[in-house]
Amino acid sequence: MKRFAILSVLAAFTMVISSCSNDDEPNFHFTALRALSAEVPESFELNERYQITVTFERPDGCTFFEGFDVTSPDTTVRDVVVIGSVFTDRACTTEVEEIEVSFDFVVIHDQTYTFRFYEGQDDEGEHQFFEITVPVN
């Protein structure tokens, strides 16, 4: 009887494992999305936290907001890229939508900040950014 119970459990486990999909291909990829505009304060105060709002373009129904990639190519320069995930295994609407999202920013330097928001590529494939500078009082 004990042996039968063990074999039953093993058979059930084998069925569960074999019924799971074993696709090695991902059904999504990440992409940079086009920022359309950004709302930042007119000035910053040192050591304060601010919310920066970005309006971006969602190009279709298979693309979803994932977050921001904010890098610092220089002490007070911030490159901001809106990151999306694009699902590749479903039918999608083609409706373009403008969406607002935000992130928190803490001022840690007493110099003017330059934010460079990614807005896509030009005809030659060069990355394009719009810039906003914010002085620190």
Q: pLDDT tens digits, residue range 116-132?
A: 999 999 999 999 999 99
Does 98 have pLDDT greater than 70? Answer: yes
Rounded Cα–Cα distance for residues 96 and 61 (Å): 8
What is the pTM assigned to this prediction? 0.79
Tell which wins on pLDDT, 1 or 48: 48
Q: Using one digit for the tens of pLDDT, what is the confidence trace for 5-28?
A: 444 444 444 444 444 555 678 899
What is d(CA 88, CA 82) in angstroms, rounded to the nearest whole number? 19
